[in-house]
Amino acid sequence: MEYFENGARLVWVINPKEHYVLVYRSAREPDRLLKSIDALDGEEVVPGFALAITELFQKLAF
């Protein structure tokens, strides 16, 4: 993934149609699959950030 080549340490790939988020900590494969019962966490990259997946998709009403 180009993001990691440019220094990213955490990438969230959001799928609005299927309502899931893939969490990448490296370009190889997703570290986690988050669904509506889960929450995004900024980990050490964005300390204190948390957002419920259900809230994310409510705000992304396409």
4-49 pLDDT, tens per residue?
Answer: 999 999 999 999 889 999 999 999 999 999 999 999 999 999 999 9
**Residue 16: Cβ within 10 Å count:** 12
Q: What is the model's pTM? A: 0.86
**Residue 21: Cβ within 10 Å count:** 23
- In which domain, by residue range, is 14 found? 2-59
Query: What DSSP line would sit under 14-56, residue for residue?
Result: EETTTTEEEEESSSSS-SEEE-TTSEEE-TTTSTT-EEEHHHH
Number of domains in the chain: 1
**pLDDT, position 1:** 74
Sheet with 11-15: strands ordered across? 11-15, 20-24, 32-34
